[in-house]
Structure 1
Amino acid sequence: MWPLLLRALLVLVFALILFALVGPLFIDPNPAPEHSPVHVEPSAATFGFITIPVSGTPGLRVHYRDSTDPQRDDLNPLGHRNFLLLHGFTFNLSTWDPMFVFFAKEGRTVAYDQLPYGLSEKPLPAGLKDANPYAKASAIEQLLALMDALEMPQAILVGNSAGGTLALDVARRAPERVSGLILISPWVYANRPTFPAWLVNSPQMKRISLLLGRYLGKNMPLLDLAYANPERISDERRELAADHSWTPGWDLAWGALMNRSLIDAVTVSESLADITQPTLIIAGAEDQIVKMADSARAANTMPNAEFAVLPECGHVPHEECPDLVRAIIADWLRRL
């Protein structure tokens, strides 16, 4: 009897290994068709584009919004500060719509779509020589290159979730460019797995990454999860959150991003005590993505940080509870 059971177990293990090796190769590698917006006209969501120099590329085209618009009297800054707004994982610059005018009245304000999100370029690493635009080092380089191109020598970095991680990485790598940090539910103590490059670069893992990118980009499940009350999400907000799908081939770029993320670990927590810029950390009490305790821990670790908690708000309080966020930031800026 035991030999029969052992043989059956070996057959099952072999079948599972075969499925793991062959199954992903049946995922369609062809790009998804362009999605036509229903609730938002593309022109209404488009601001400006600029090409920035990035190592190993011919330059990358970035979609951004700048408050220095002579056609908008309500965006003429009253203050002297610069603000650079950084969205989170799978989001885009539209996440800052409820906050943009507020920051613009405090000083020059820029929000941009980090690659390959929103309407920014969606390059594929296979088409570039010895460069991956989705590597952590490249994201830092892109941010600083954008600041240079827009003649912004220094700024307060305002980051939500993974945008907060990027802000902290830049403050660590180029502290002279960062005058302060406003971090909303920053993704600091990330506990996600990383894998060796040989495995990540295998055809199977690339197809699985593509499948994950398509799921996250088509259904936008993190948008609902980011709200304490998803009923507050309007149809227009849902459409803007998915504006990357207006570009053919967006899914291939998202797949490349997901694939690269399996290599780069989130290590910024190791250097928090060395980041000395004035910092405000805000957390939603109902955040289901980043634990409020993690945000409090980051604030306690940083030498010059303040911490605030917002009741009945989730992972994106700047969208869900903008009045509360504006009041807290305004008070902090007055004391800065």
Structure 2
Amino acid sequence: MEVRVGQTDVHCVQHGTGRAVLVLHGAGVDHREVEACFEPALSRDPGLRRIYPDLPGMGRTVAPASMRSADDVLDVLLGLADEVAGDRPLLLIGHSAGAYYAQAMAARRPAQVAGLALVCPLVPGVRDVPEHRVVTGSGTLGDATFRDYFVIQTPEMLQRYERYVAPAATLVDQAALERIGEHWELTPPGGGPYAGPVLLVAGRLDSAIGYAAAVDLLQAYPHSSLAVLDDAGHALPHEQPDLLRALISDWLKRAAI
């Protein structure tokens, strides 16, 4: 479906009925990655309407020329939340850059967000990023992007990469992402911390953004749970699906209102 927000037609894939769950993907991919990773956990609850948008400049969501900063993208996502949530607070999940936007959405509209789940969250001030290390596999499978992204490099992981990650590369509007990336830090929202139930998940071997900054977030959210998973990198949602499913299930119980 397409949802019109200002000058932007946001392409979304939707499953189910009930309370809205908005799931935001990271940079350089599209909705297919987070749909593949989170749908197995979310689809277990028959009362959830799962919405997977393509962020502006990726997938089938065109970023207009007027979109020139992360704040502009955030405005579109807040408008999308208004369109899909109705009168009931929504649940919000983000992976990587999607988690960066999700944090800002919860900070600006805390009453609209019933729960916040941040997986391998991008944050300003990333620190203590480990060197990339392969824990399973020869390190020779796939292309360079796969080998840099995954720490578990098995034929199964390569198949997931080729099906859910790699196809999005041809749809990326690089000029738009570069334009937005010149002003990628969001304006601080002010106000107090988001007080709803929060799930923080990080990969111990995440060589893109590390796990230390995610641990720091524990202090920012008064009702948060933190899991740092071993044998997982930035591709944690692919590499540790069973653990992620259990953590999401627990978070959904805490967010039930």
Q: Same fold (TM over 0.5)?
A: yes
Q: Distance in 1 between matches of 2:234 and 2:71?
A: 25
User: Secondary structure of the equivalent of 1:144?
Assistant: helix
Q: Give the whole-Å Cα distance in 2 for the aligned partners of 1:148 and 1:119.
A: 20
Match of 1:311 in 2: 230
SS of the aligned residue for 2:52 comes to strand
8 A contact 1:184–1:316 mirrored in 2:
no
Counterpart position of 1:173? 108
Mapped to 2, the partners of 1:105 and 1:329 lie a distance apart of 11
2:185 to 265, 279, 296: 265
DSSP 3-state at the match of 1:230: coil
Residue among 130, 138, 141 paired with 2:75: 141
> Aligned to 1:114, which of 50, 55, 69?
55
Aligned length: 235
* CA drift at 1:305: 1.4
Counterpart Cα distance in 2 of 1:180 and 1:89: 22
Larger radius of gyration: 1
Contact 2:9 2:61 in 1 (8 A): yes
Provide the rounded CA distance (Å) in 2 between the counterparts of 1:273 and 1:307: 20
Question: Can you list the C-alpha shifts for 1:140-194, whole angstroms capped at 9, x where unaligned?
Answer: 22222223333544211101111111001111122222111000011113459xx
Distance 2:81 2:32 in 1: 19
Q: Counting helix residues as a fraction of each chain, which structure ranks higher? A: 1
Q: Which residue is equivalent to 1:230?
A: 153
Q: Does 1:332 align with 2:251?
A: yes
Q: What amino acid maps onto 2:197 in structure 1?
A: P
Question: What amino acid does structure 1 have at the position aligned with 2:202?
Answer: A
DSSP 3-state at the match of 1:65: strand
Contact 2:195 2:223 in 1 (8 A): yes
In 2, distance between residues paired with 1:315 and 1:306? 19
What secondary structure does 2:43 align onto?
Answer: helix
C-alpha distance 273-309 of structure 1, shift in aligned 2 (>3 A): farther
The structural deviation recorded for 1:109 is: 0.9
- Describe how 1:270-285 pairs up with structure 2 within 5 A: 274-285=193-204
Is residue 198–residue 251 contact of structure 2 (8 Å, CA) maintained in 1?
no
2:242 to 323, 328, 332: 323
Matched, 1:86 2:24: yes
The residue identity in structure 1 corresponding to 2:91 is: I
8 Å CA contact 2:126–2:213 kept in 1: the answer is: no
Residue number in structure 2 paired with 1:187: 122
Aligned-pair CA distance for 1:235: 4.0
User: Residues of 2 paired with 1:162 and 1:264: CA distance?
Assistant: 10
Is 1:104 the equivalent of 2:46? Answer: no
Question: Which residue is equivalent to 1:52?
Answer: 4
Match of 2:210 among 258, 266, 291: 291
C-alpha spacing 1:312/1:156, structure 2 compared with 1 (3 Å)? same
Return the letter of the residue paired with 1:141. Answer: D
- How far is the alpha carbon of 1:110 from its aligned partner? 0.7
TM-score by length of 1: 0.62
Secondary structure in structure 2 of the residue aligned to 1:306: strand
* SS of equivalent residue, structure 1 residue 286: coil
Distance 1:191 1:99 in 2: 25
Bigger strand fraction: 2
| Identity score, percent | 25
Contact 1:140 1:170 in 2 (8 A): yes
Which stretches in structure 2 are left out of the alignment for 5+ residues?
128-142
Rounded Cα–Cα distance in structure 2 between residues aligned with 1:278 and 1:119? 32
Q: 1 CA distance for matches of 2:191 and 2:183? A: 22
Instruction: Quickly say closer, same or farther: Cα 1:290–1:272, change in 2 above 3 A.
Output: farther
What is the CA distance between 1:117 and its match in structure 2?
1.0
How far apart, in 2, do the equivalents of 1:95 and 1:183 lie? Answer: 15
My pick for the range that moved more, 143-152 or 324-333, is 143-152
Change (3 A) 1:261 1:165: same
1:51 Cα offset (Å): 3.8
